[in-house]
Every structure is written in structure tokens, then in C-alpha cells.
Amino acid sequence: MTHPHDPPGGRFITFEGPEGAGKTTQITHLTRHLDVAGVPHLLTREPGGTPLGTRVREVVLDPALHIDPLPEFLLYSASRAQLVQDVIGPALARGEVVVCDRYADSSLAYQGAGRGLDAGLLRSVTHAATGGLTPALTVLLDLDPRLGLERAAARGQPDRLEQADLGFHDRVRAGFLALAAGEPDRFLVLDATRPADDLARTIWDAVRARLALG
Ligand SMILES: Nc1ncnc2c1ncn2[C@@H]1O[C@H](COP(=O)(O)OP(=O)(O)OP(=O)(O)O)[C@@H](O)[C@H]1O
Ligand SMILES: Cc1cn([C@H]2C[C@H](O)[C@@H](COP(=O)(O)O)O2)c(=O)[nH]c1=O
């Protein structure tokens, strides 16, 4: 049940982490818990979740393309703006829990810490794209990128981001951890080498507590 004074992002949950950290696996567990508990929810992802986002995803992950850091960030931001406007905002307004696989923290970690774009620029464009919508809870699955990239490689050919060098992926991981250290109330940082079922229980406990789901 939502309250008229709940903040707009009060039921907004995001999952973040380096490549192959287990976001998809944990989101599947969480949505199953929400189903069983009868909590109305919407699952979406970035980039993606809208016709524009799906096209942006094809472009940004295409290993055949060279994309400079600024246009890369603007592409992710375009997908994000459309997703907030058309999907996330309306679902939150209906009182649903929204679970999103990656959101603005990925831009701060990948395009900021990873590519070296200015954090002030990233934050101001992100604010324009999202109207300042911030998650109530961000689950950060933390993992050494060497292990994450190995996990991802087992799935098939690496995409454009997965092909970047290890130095880039180490900076991304450090960027996520720095964001979490700066906002300890929003972030739940978990060791992604823990067994998947064990992580799923911890996440469900946190979601119930944070969203007062009972
Ligand atoms: N806790 C875990 N322990 C060991 N392996 C795991 C764990 N969680 C997920 N995996 C495996 O790691 C691989 C990547 O998992 P998953 O697709 O859930 O990650 P992801 O964060 O969504 O990846 P990406 O961001 O690269 O799409 C899969 O093969 C999955 O089975
Ligand atoms: C939202 C967002 C994502 N990225 C990167 C992170 C991943 O390498 C891909 C998305 O693929 P996944 O299978 O969904 O993890 O895009 C980014 O660099 N910046 C962003 O804002």
C-alpha cells in the first residue's frame, strides 16, 4: 500500500554490478518472491525496456562499433529518459514495485570511473533524464571482474563493453564501491561469490524491510 507522502522512488529497486555478477539470477529470485507475496511489480532493464531502449542496447553492445565516451553516455541517457518517462514513472505512480537491472549508477561507474567522464556532467544530464528519480534500494553485487568476465564468457561472444581491458573493469568495480560508500543507506553491497540461494534470501529480507512489505 502506498502513502500519498511516499517519495516517488520509494518502491524503486535497482541491481548493479560489474559484468557477470549475477544480477539476472538474483532479479529472477526476487521477482519470484514478489509473485508469491502477491506484490504488484514491474521488471525492466537498462539499456532496454522500451522500443528505443532496445535499439540503443543493440548499438551500445555492438562489438563492431567504435563509440567515444560522451556519445556512449548520451546513448545510455536517452534510453534512461525514455524508460523513466514511459515505464518506470507510470508503474511507480500505480503503486507497483519497480525492479530495474542497472540504472544511473552504471553510468557513474562505467562512463565516469571507467571512461573518465566528469562526474558533475554525468549527474546533471542524469538529473535531466530522470527528473531526479532515485532508487529506494540499490543491490550492488560486488565481484572481481576477472571472475565476472569468465562467467559472462561462458554465455558466448563478449559484447563491446565486455571486450574492454581489465583496467577499465577494475575502475568500474572501484567506482561502484565508492558510490556505495557515499550512500550507505541506499546501497546493499553483497559479495557475489556467495551461493546464489543464500544471496537471494539476504536480498528478499532487505527488500521486505526496506519497502515495509511485511
Ligand atoms: N552466486 C553465483 N555463484 C556462481 N555463479 C553464479 C552466481 N550467480 C550467477 N552465476 C552464474 O554467472 C553467470 C552470470 O550470471 P547472470 O547472468 O545472472 O549475471 P549478470 O550480472 O546479469 O550478467 P551481465 O551483467 O554480464 O549480463 C551465469 O552463468 C550464472 O549462472
Ligand atoms: C545502464 C548502463 C550500462 N552500461 C553497460 C554495462 C554492461 O556492460 C552493459 C549492459 O549489459 P548487461 O548485460 O545488461 O549488464 O552496458 C554502461 O556502460 N552504462 C550504463 O549507464
Reported as a single tens digit per residue, the pLDDT across 26-83 is: 999 999 999 999 999 999 999 999 999 999 999 999 999 999 999 999 999 999 999 9
- Locate the ligand 1 atom nearest the alpha carbon of residue 28 and give its number: 18
Measured in Å, residue 93 CA sits from the centre of ligand 2 at 26
For the beta carbon of residue 174, count every other beta carbon within 10 angstroms.
13
| pLDDT score for 4 | 42
- Residue stretches of the chain with pLDDT short of 70: 1-9, 214
| pLDDT score for 213 | 74
Q: Is 31 marked within a binding site?
A: no
| pLDDT score for 2 | 43
Reported ipTM? 0.98
Q: CA dist 36 to 40, 101, 108, 184, Å?
A: 10, 20, 34, 29
Instruction: Compute the distance between CA of residue 27 and CA of residue 137 in angstroms, rounded to an integer.
Output: 13
| pLDDT score for 214 | 62
Q: For the structural domain made of 12-210, what CATH number should be given?
A: 3.40.50.300
| pLDDT score for 109 | 98
Measured in Å, residue 24 CA sits from the centre of ligand 1 at 7
Assigned C-alpha cell, 196: 546464489
Instruction: Compute the distance between CA of residue 112 and CA of residue 137 in angstroms, rounded to an integer.
Output: 21
| pLDDT score for 212 | 80
